[in-house]
Amino acid sequence: MGQVDFDDYVIVKELFDTGEDKRAYVQSMFNAVAKRYDFMNSVLSVGIHHLWKRLTVAKTGIKPGQKALDICTGTADIAIRLAGKVGPSGKVTGVDFSKDMLAIGKQKVNQARLDNIDLIFGNVETLELPDEEFEAVTVGFGIRNVVRLNCAISEVLRVLKPGGRFACLEFSQPTSAVIRKLYDYYSLNIMPRMGKVLANDSMNGYFYLPKSIRLFPDQEKFKKILEEMGFVKVKYYNLTTGIAALHIGAKPN
């Protein structure tokens, strides 16, 4: 397995003094915006995030009766979609370290009358889950928020069954120069203002968001990271000209 050192991860270097500063900020930020998070996602993406998440679940190849894990599950959007795929005989576990986001997720699970989902509080860098437990692991817009990326990816590998798939949906770098300029203006100028007005964003989370996207590895670099960490058959799909990217990798048999 390749050695990837992210103890001094670039987002921590650029935006925070220490990893603990980043962890505390991200946790407080998501607690602060939890009640408006789903609404803001739909407004800022014009609803496209639903299509991205649907594709993420489809690309896991998860089947009825199997087990899936959604890390950084937030308000459980992806976990709920996974639950529909695994059916009553399967099981979905969602993990997040924002209690307020989990509370919203649990409300949605209860409203959908799903009893095959467990949402639990935890740190994805140190999952308290058994080895080789899941056929699929997903994450949507959360992997760039962890402090020790290598630890999170190692944990994903540990809990996946041999041959299991990891599907990582994350904002990325637009492939078109024109779209990149338009997106930069939108995310750096309009998005933060909308966050202030529509989400009462006291933590400046919608200022952090575009900065963290730009500091996260691009499509090819993240593909290489997954391969160096031990995943095989790694590929990615550019979504909406690369505004988001879906990386898929498998645990070796």
pTM: 0.93
Provide the CATH number for the domain around residue 143.
3.40.50.150
Domain presence at residue 183: no
* 154-184 exposure pattern, b = at least 16 Cβ within 10 A, e = fewer: bbbbebbbeebbbbbbbbbbbeeeeeeeebe
Block means of pLDDT (10 residues each) for the chain, length 253 residues?
51 87 93 91 91 98 98 98 98 98 98 97 97 98 93 97 98 93 88 77 79 91 95 98 97 97
Q: Residue 60's pLDDT is what? A: 98
Q: Residue 201's pLDDT is what? A: 66
Domain presence at residue 81: yes
Domain presence at residue 39: yes
Domain presence at residue 124: yes
| Contact assessment for residue 229 and residue 1, using Cβ atoms and an 8 Å cutoff | yes
Q: Residue 7's pLDDT is what? A: 45
> ∠ at Cα 75 (119, 44), nearest 5°?
165
Residues constituting the chain: 253
Count other Cβ atoms within 10 Å, centred on residue 3.
7
Domain presence at residue 2: no
Q: CB-based contacts of 55: which residues, under 8 Å, 6+ apart? A: 237, 239, 246
* 62-86 exposure pattern, b = at least 16 Cβ within 10 A, e = fewer: beeebbbbbbbbbbbbbbbbbbebb
Cα dist from 160 to 93, 101, 127, 132, 235, whole Å: 13, 25, 12, 5, 18
Q: How many domains does the chain have?
A: 1
Query: Domain residues for 236?
Result: 10-175+204-250
Domain presence at residue 3: no
Tell me the pLDDT tens digit for each residue of 56-111: 999 999 999 999 999 999 999 999 999 999 999 999 999 999 999 999 999 999 99
Q: Residue 231's pLDDT is what? A: 98
Q: Residue 4's pLDDT is what? A: 52
Domain presence at residue 225: yes
Strands (DSSP E) contained in the chain are 67-71, 91-96, 117-121, 134-140, 160-171, 232-239, 244-250
Domain presence at residue 186: no
Q: CB-based contacts of 111: which residues, under 8 Å, 6+ apart? A: none
